């Protein structure tokens, strides 16, 4: 009998079982012997076992009580276990313990993938890169550009801060149990120099959220609570355009206008 309990659906437990894919995912993080790595949701260790001999420090954040106990019983000098919900985990603890930027990896529970992406963004300046397994549609949304159907709030918010690549797709057969959706690996690399810096991040988040609040409506309509048509025009943006046609640079221009008036 397996030493593990049955996979818990409520915790998004689809465990990787394809050695080739596991190797490729860990390879995508390019781990060096001086690296501090954070793994979100190690589960039964498909990725973890490969990372342990490579990294200087490995921090695990796991929420399943049985799996926390399993990893806590594993005494290994470079391993630290944090038994906590990743959405409540303050990365400062790890950031302060190292003088290098941290690398993040995880086969994420899909029901919380967007909140995890936004949570990690708060720490982007301390992160070297993030290699994450997500639902394929989410990666497409993250990486798509203006004019495409998938382009939306997630694309704009992430592309302002990261270079985003889809590394490869992963079929359901690579997991046990197989998920009902296709998956893909994304690599997010925080930009050293932001191509489109914002004055106030909260204003940027507000503008993007409002602009996409009703996809079929114009900017003039959606941004009414904060800007009028003339103000939108003053920075060279067409108020009758829809949010889905705007570049990240145009969103940052609108946000920076809001921050200065
Ligand atoms: N890394 C393993 C693998 O690839 O086989 C497991 C991946 S499984 C898709 C997701 C993992 O995240 C599970 O181990 C689950 O218990 C854990 N998890 C679920 N919700 C979590 C949360 N809020 N915080 C931290 N870990 C969580």
pLDDT per residue of the chain (261 residues) written in tens, 0 to 9 = 578 999 999 999 999 999 999 999 999 999 999 999 999 999 999 999 999 999 999 999 999 999 999 999 998 999 999 999 999 999 999 999 999 999 999 999 999 999 999 999 999 999 999 999 999 999 999 999 999 999 999 999 999 999 999 999 999 999 999 999 999 999 999 999 999 999 999 999 999 999 999 988 999 999 999 999 999 999 999 999 999 999 999 999 999 999 999
Q: Using a 6 Å cutoff on CB, does residue 109 contact ligand 1?
A: yes
- CB of 121 shorter than 6 A to ligand 1: no
pLDDT at 1: 58
pLDDT of residue 2: 78
- Closest residue by Cα to atom 19, ligand 1, is 11
The reported pLDDT for the residue numbered 75 is 83
Q: Using the mean position of ligand 1's atoms as its centre, give its distance from the Cα of residue 141 in Å.
A: 22
Mutate to test the pocket of ligand 1, among 47, 109, 173, 175 (most ligand atoms within 8 A of CB): 109
To test the pocket of ligand 1, the residue of 41, 64, 115 to mutate (highest count of ligand atoms within 8 Å of its CB) is 41
Atom of ligand 1 nearest to the CA of 64: 16
Cα(105) to centroid of ligand 1, in Å? 11
The model's pTM is 0.96
- Nearest-CA residue for atom 21 of ligand 1: 63
Q: Is 12 in the pocket of ligand 1 (CB under 6 A)?
A: yes
CA of 147 to the centre of ligand 1 (A): 34
Tell me the domains of the chain and their CATH numbers: 9-190 (3.40.50.150), 201-260 (1.10.8.100)
In short, whether 66's Cβ falls inside 6 Å of ligand 1 is no
> What is the residue whose two structure tokens read 């309990």?
5
Say how far apart CA 141 and CA 155 lie, in whole Å: 6
Q: Is 86 near ligand 1, meaning CB less than 6 Å away?
A: yes
- 66 touches 4 (CB < 8 A): yes
Which residues share a beta bridge with 2? Answer: none
User: HEC states along 160-190?
Assistant: CCEEEEEEEEECHHHEECCCCCCEEEEEEEE
**Does ligand 1 have an atom closer than 6 angstroms to the CB of 4?**
no
**Which mutation among 11, 20, 60, 65 tests ligand 1's pocket best, with the greatest number of atoms within 8 A of CB?**
11
Cα 214-215-218 angle, rounded to 5 deg:
85
45 in contact with ligand 1, CB cutoff 6 A:
no
Query: Which residues, 6 or more positions from 107, have their beta carbon under 8 angstroms from its beta carbon?
Result: 14, 16, 25, 41, 43, 46, 47, 132, 133
Question: Would the CB of 61 count as within 6 Å of ligand 1?
Answer: yes
The predicted pLDDT at position 39 comes to 98
CA 37 to chain centre: 15
């Amino acid at each position: 009998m397996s030493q593990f309990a049955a996979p818990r659906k409520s915790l998004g437990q689809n465990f990787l079982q394809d050695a080739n894919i596991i190797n490729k995912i860990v390879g995508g993080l390019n781990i060096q012997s001086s690296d501090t790595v954070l793994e979100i949701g190690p589960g039964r260790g498909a990725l973890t076992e490969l990372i342990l001999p490579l990294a200087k420090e490995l921090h695990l954040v796991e929420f399943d009580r049985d799996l926390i106990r399993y990893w806590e019983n594993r005494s290994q000098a470079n391993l630290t276990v944090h038994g906590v919900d990743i959405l409540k985990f303050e990365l400062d603890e790890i950031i302060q313990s190292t003088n290098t930027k941290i690398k993040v990896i995880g086969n994420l529970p899909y029901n919380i993938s967007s909140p995890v992406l936004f949570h990690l963004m708060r720490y982007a300046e301390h992160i070297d890169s993030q290699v994450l397994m997500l639902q394929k549609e989410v990666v497409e949304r993250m990486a798509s550009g203006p004019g495409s159907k998938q382009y939306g709030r997630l694309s704009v918010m992430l592309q302002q801060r990261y270079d985003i690549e889809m590394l490869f797709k992963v079929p359901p057969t690579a997991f046990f149990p197989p998920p009902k959706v296709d998956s893909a690996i994304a690599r997010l690399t925080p930009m050293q120099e932001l191509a489109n810096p914002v004055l106030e991040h909260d204003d940027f988040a507000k503008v993007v959220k409002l602009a996409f609040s009703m996809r079929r409506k114009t900017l003039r309509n959606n941004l009414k609570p904060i800007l009028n048509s003339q103000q939108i025009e003053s920075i060279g943006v067409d108020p009758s355009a829809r949010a889905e046609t705007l570049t990240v640079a145009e969103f940052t221009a609108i946000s920076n206008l809001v921050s200065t008036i």
